[in-house]
Structure 1
Amino acid sequence: MAFATYIVGQTPFPEFSVILMLDDVQILYYDSVTWGAFHRSQSNSKYQNEEKIDAGAVFHEIYNGMKDQALYIKKHLNHTDGIHVHQRVSGCELLNNDKPGLIQTWDAFDGQNVGKTIFDIEKHDVQTKLTWMPWDQLKKTSNEILRRYLNLEKNNMRKVKPRVRFMRNPLTDSQRLQISCLATGFYPRHINLTLFRDGQPVDDDQITGGEILPNGDGTYQMRKSLVISEEELREGHKYNCTMKHLSLDNKLDITFDVSECDPGSFGLSIIIGVLVFMCVAVLIITALIIWRKRQAAGKCSVLFCSVQFITSNTQLEKETKHQFL
């Protein structure tokens, strides 16, 4: 646990100080007088200097955050000038099974609770409650600014509608099927693309892809894929892909009916493809053999004619010579 204190106003104490605790043992102290971290016990770690530097960087970041927040909290709580104390307790835990637990932070201003944050590391879940933040005013101001800039720039904003395709790809190593929803050629880059199974969103841990990637023409694309098991194919679920984009008046919805697919046909199609490939290969090899035989036969015919011609000439010479004598 880190116990941090930031003091608004002049006092004989440091403006900012932190005490670091390991369970109930104080192990480190830091303040804004020296801007340094000091161990309260002897440390034999060879990384002691690095630990002090790292701790100093973290605590200085906490100091900046608490200093900025103190100004907002003081204004929100309508406190007058004078001495005020902003306190923060931050801690993390390691469970008995050596797994990380929660990271928690509590804030108080002049003894009044003003905020709490709980972060569950394993679930990646954050819960925040800030009593000092003027949410209504912040929401109103933000919306007004956003609307004003949209009105100024809406005629200059480029909008390109996405082209959408639903693709299927039988996996050759099994009876499974991969379906993919591809949206491409859209601008601006923000798009909301969701895969549904029987009307319910598919869990993110079952989906691959989802990154927004640039195209060469300045537009963007996004692809989300899902592998469907052989059992799911037999059950005949219905899948659809929906997307929302700034260029669309209504959301796009494309449906893919798995019940139209025969799981056995994937393996049959692969077998047919292999047989066709083998037949084509046999035809090519046969054609090459026939061509070579014809080439060889042609060479033999030429050689045979040459031998005949030479033999005939020799016989003619002998007959001519006999008649002359």
Structure 2
Amino acid sequence: MLMRKPSNCRMKNQKSRKKSLSCWMYVMGVFAMREAEAAHHTHEILFTAVGTSKTLLGFTMVSFLDDVEIAFYDKKHQQLVIKEAWVSRALGADFVEDQQYRLMNNEIDYLWALQNWVQNDTLGKENHTVQIWHNCHLDRGIHVSSRIWCAVDGEDFCQMDEQINHWVAKKPEAKPAILLAEVIYCSKKVKRYLEDYCVQPMKNILQYSNVRDNVPPEVTVSQHDAPDGNVTLICTATGFYPRSILLRWEKDEQVVVWGQESSSGILPNSDATFYLQITLKLQSRNMETGYSCVVEHRELETPAIYPVPVKPTKVRPWHVALSILTVITMLLSCVVAFITWKKRKTESAFAVSPGSANK
């Protein structure tokens, strides 16, 4: 997805590249949030087979919805793993069981691909990789496009999309394979397959997640001091729905920050809500007060500001030692004063007793 850089992005201090970069990152974040709110969704499925022309050594499948992994399959365990329980409920037990069965049978298909797509390996002793990638797109619930393409040893082999409506060889060696694919996997079968295993599952997951009420994020902000003197600020938002959210760092109400930013990306929770964490790593010389995490979400009327908690000033070791020494000195002074007073009182008592006896 391409975005043009807005021309109205102006920073107060044009001499600072970091400030300009920070502004640009903020604008990109706003654009990303608006696009997410436009209800554009993508479902991607990647199959990877590794082996020789005689043996399939490895076979995996990974499924992503809007860049979030939702399912995984591995030949070693031969088990389809759905990452979240609510996704399983959205797909339905029958679909999950059917997909599990198909994946186990796909191992034979990918061994066939290794035998027929790999060229110049008559001995069959070298390992090769075959990958097939499907994707489909929805815009406001409407299926707008799908695509399927294949690669051998990391190079494009063949592909099909709805606009072309037939298989296209991406290298000369693929031409015999696509002639066979046109017979076995004609465009109608491919469209039906993508509808059943790419488009419809995505619709079911999105419809299931849309049943729940909107929920504002729960936000926590913390600070971690590293042994090397650097400081990491952590802002975590969780339990929010819908998915669209924007987190950013500000200092004294300005978007400009001096440090290294990172993000976990928006991840799903087990209850169909979402999670996002951003961090800001600062060098100790740049760590001052005034940093805040600003959160924008549909369920918040205005952007919410969460200041970084101010840590209490640490007492230096020599201050502690001086305080202890002062207390000990005071205690010793009191003890010496008490002993001196007691001694004088005793001497005074002995001096009075003889005179009293003579009387």
TM-score, length of structure 1 as denominator length:
0.35
TM-score, length of structure 2 as denominator length:
0.32
Greater RCO, CA 8 A, separation 6+: 2
